[in-house]
Chains A and B, each alone.
Chain A
């Protein structure tokens, strides 16, 4: 096996083990979404029809806000302990190292939400949770890619968490708009899902490069 493959596998494994052994890192966003979902009947009233109608959009907003929770610590520990330097010296293209890091991050933060949200939707009486699951399957990686870029940009900033939210929320509007349109079903759902997929493809093509360039500047 080539050195690049070895390096990529090592990076993914150490990141995965690191997150797996810090359950609070990936359980907190899940608990946040469940907690917010429990608030829906309290804030909106207990009418089943109203909850059924609003649940997909509200769950999307909860998923988007949950994605912000772990971002301030996405790269900060790697900068502090020198891991970023080791990635940069690895026989691996830097954007690929970033993409692997973000893939592991999504695997522990976004993917559980993709699996959990339909269950919550069913609990609110949504007949077909599949559109919600599909929209989150395409939307949460997009949020992770945008979040990675944002986390890199505020790496040295004081009050980085607040700044990160201010920076990311406008950038995440297209994901939210397409995602909720797809999740709600209806005549435009397929188009919204395609647009969401296209937006994800654009981010996959550009975000790892932009994030690695930003991280290189932060390391310099």
Chain B
């Protein structure tokens, strides 16, 4: 077990202080306080419309919170519900393009190696328009297997459209990232088969 898993670092990857958000006049959540340390996994739970995606977007800086402060100490990787997939690109073009757009370019062999765990190495040359929803989701998640990844991962419904075997592989990847000192914030309507302890943040009415 690494040091990160045994003892939280004193410098949190992510700090939320009394964060609140609303959509129009409707209050989604308020007074969310949190400090996420390297090596920790956070599951953001809640019913549809409780503000899970809104919280992730606030963390990423894609929308401003209605109240409170957000401090992200490290660079982050965001795989949203709509992860910027272009139908006109091939699977490998999309993966390399996403990595380069994030400032972390990868070689073709690195991209192919990242596609293998998500079962798309044989489909690397296919256009995204030809893929199923599950395969498109796998394409977006393949970024997690690239050699250069930022320490903080923010994943919105990563299990959506995935089968049980892929969900297991994804959980193993998240476990390994946390063991290596990374942090993960994710939303999901179902539990991931993670081995490491998972912190939980429930939004909306209990």
Known interface pairs A86-B98, A219-B62, A220-B63; A3-B104 also in contact (CB < 8 Å): yes
Q: Could you mark each residue 95-110 of chain B with 1 if its beta carbon is under 8 Å from any beta carbon of chain A, else 0? A: 0111011111100000
In the complex the two chains form, what is the Cα distance from A18 to B85 in whole Å?
Answer: 11
In the complex the two chains form, what is the Cα distance from A21 to B93 in whole Å?
Answer: 13
Q: Could you mark each residue 1-13 of chain A with 1 if its beta carbon is under 8 Å from any beta carbon of chain B, else 0? A: 0111011011101
A89 CB-CB contact with B under 8 Å: yes
A90 CB-CB contact with B under 8 Å: yes
B103 touches A91 (CB 8 A): yes
Interface of chain A residues 1 through 51 with chain B (CB within 8 A): 2-4, 6-7, 9-11, 13-14, 17-18, 21-22
A85 touches B100 (CB 8 A): no
Count, chain B residues at interface, CB 8 A = 27
A85 touches B101 (CB 8 A): no
Point out the residue from A7, A85, A91 that lies within 8 Å of B62, measured CB to CB. Answer: A85
Stretch in B42-50, B76-84, B183-191, B194-202 with 4+ CB within 8 Å of A? B76-84
In the complex the two chains form, what is the Cα distance from A10 to B84 in whole Å?
Answer: 13
In the complex the two chains form, what is the Cα distance from A14 to B86 in whole Å?
Answer: 8
Known interface pairs A7-B102, A10-B105; A83-B84 also in contact (CB < 8 Å): yes
User: What is the distance, in angstroms, from B26's C-beta to the closest C-beta of chain A?
Assistant: 15
A17 touches B102 (CB 8 A): no
Chain B positions near chain A (C-beta within 8 angstroms): 57, 60-64, 76, 78, 80-86, 88-89, 93, 96-98, 100-105
